[in-house]
Structure 1
């Protein structure tokens, strides 16, 4: 991602420029609770094994960006992506699979169309929340956000959701080229949000008049203190779309870590807010798109064949390196595994709304689109399709939050905004 040392002087041609005064963020107690939970997943954790894994992820990313160059430089960020050693591009190319990018981009725009009809009040609260999270972020959160941001082209950031043992095995297998099919399939399954960004044309938080966003200096990746920023429109978040797609697909391949991985997807989106380059609504919208797209692909028989090949290679490589089953390798002491902590339920639920208000008169029952239950197939294989659909309904977010459509709407946008995969899985597993 490009960096800039100055902000644009004028932005009068952009729509939706909002004054920041007069709108309060969520209560301080809620902010403090969420921040404390987030810190446990960073190098600010007080657990040595957590810190060690986060440092391993950071080091692996820096090494990958640098490649064979004598030193790490900012210019290398422009070409930072998986190598042929890590990703089997030829395998996917030879499959001739059509990801139908344009059609899926238009489906994503339609899914998020209610954004265009949100009230000024909601948009101003949206701005107030990103400002608070950005300004109050801890050092650990900011450094994690930088690693997340510059790691978009790789899969390293998923390792911490696998826990200390499996996480290290994952990094090693990835760099050795032992999970190449999964690596390329995950990355190319993230449908670009560029068309949606152009359609909604919403300015980023640090471009709003009178904003007080703190652009975070890079102390974690290149280490040159250049402030992190981003170009293009804000809504929806491209990074979050990638991060959540990667996390959800890996969760489908490693259901032993399903909930931690989808929590990691939500955590990745939170990093974009920490950096002040995206609003809560941007990451909420991208979660919806990612979930919809993954379900779409998993219901496609041709994609499913590729997925199963990639999954088999991945699981075989990881089990061989672990020297035991993935079920055993995925287990850790609770204190060393923050993504399995009970508090993550609170965090995931928070990221579904970021404290934005719901319409008080919205009481529609959620309607599950055909095939959406495929997302729970791998993690809850003993349940029927009907039972998985019922779980989605039972654990759905209340109606009326932003991006869920107008009151009484039972369409796709209403479902994907309200789908709570974390609660659906944990409810079934703890019965």
Structure 2
């Protein structure tokens, strides 16, 4: 009887985890629809005119940052090429893990998908070419052409946008960590400059866009409910949500 109860309890826990992880699976409505994502692009001002003094100065910052990058920042920039919310384990600790936090993973998987859609549309609209410091996009001195780091447009930075959205939403779930989360998001953006794939202007645009997207997400009742559930999960896992 004891073994049967143990089995049932484990089975129930497994089903609950599967249900949490399946949130916003096929058929579930998005937090923000296509029209809302499109409207939010109005917060972005046009980037510098190509070849203008402002444009050259902006790209010059990337040239210098790339040429003088240190090994630590360069390694982190490479590691962050594939970037999701659990990259914030760098400041939250190794316990911040998708397998351990399925509800949190479900919320931010959907947020990331919708954010990527908004960024992709904005990039295609502005069509700002990425920088090419030290001819890196043609010579590929780092041997990482497979990352296709020069194949898409640069404005706004997807990493900067995504990191900002993640930091704002996580900051609501973990208010005591809000400043730390925001700082890491800024660092993620800057390391895209160090990586030589964005200019500061791309990064700042991503921060503005990310703030606007985060505010719209937080205004959605479904997101609020799911984020509250994620906050409970984080508290149960040992992350203190209160200041």
| Common fold: TM-score over 0.5 | yes
Q: What's the counterpart of residue 6 of structure 2?
A: none
- TM-score, scaled to structure 2: 0.79
Tell me which residue corresponds to 2:201. 281
Structure 1 distance, partners of 2:57, 2:66, is 14
The CA deviation at 1:252 is 1.6
Superposed displacement of residue 103, structure 1: 2.2
Q: Structure 1 residues 268, 205: CA separation in 2 closer, same or farther (over 3 Å shift)?
A: same
Deviation track 1:163-188 (CA, whole Å, cap 9, x = no partner) reads xxxx0222xxx25x231111121232
Q: 1:269 to 1:135 in 2, by over 3 A?
A: same
Which structure's relative contact order is higher, taking Cα pairs within 8 Å and 6+ residues apart?
Answer: 2
State yes or no: 1:212 paired with 2:138.
no
Matched, 1:311 2:227: no
Quote the residue 2:167 is aligned against. 247
Question: Does 2:61 align with 1:129?
Answer: yes
For 1:310 and 1:88, how far apart are their aligned partners in 2? 10
Of 147, 150, 154, which aligns to 1:234?
Answer: 154
CA–CA separation in structure 1 for the residues paired with 2:18 and 2:193:
29
Query: What is the RMSD computed on CA atoms of the aligned residues?
Result: 2.8
Q: Which residue of 1 aligns with 2:12?
A: none
Distance, in Å, in 1 between the alignment partners of 2:126 and 2:107 is 28
Count of aligned positions: 219
Partner of 1:169: 95
1:140 counterpart = 2:66: no
In 2: Cα distance, 1:146 partner to 1:201 partner = 24
Residues 232, 96 of structure 1: CA spacing in aligned structure 2 closer, same or farther, 3 A cutoff? same
Cα distance in 1 between the residues matched to 2:67 and 2:19: 37
Cα deviation, residue 116, structure 1: 6.0
Aligned: 1:180 with 2:98 = no
1:245-297 alpha-carbon deviations (Å, 9 max, x no partner): 22222122111111010011111111111111111111111111111111112
In 1, are the aligned partners of 2:21 and 2:105 still within 8 Å (CA)? no
Q: Is 1:149 aligned to 2:69, yes or no?
A: no
Alpha carbons 1:196, 1:236 under 8 Å: kept = yes
In the aligned structure 1, how far is the partner of 2:50 from the partner of 2:157? 17
**Equivalent residue number for residue 40 of structure 2:** 108
Bigger helix fraction: 2
Q: Which residue of 2 aligns with 1:201?
A: 127
Q: CA deviation at 1:94?
A: 7.8
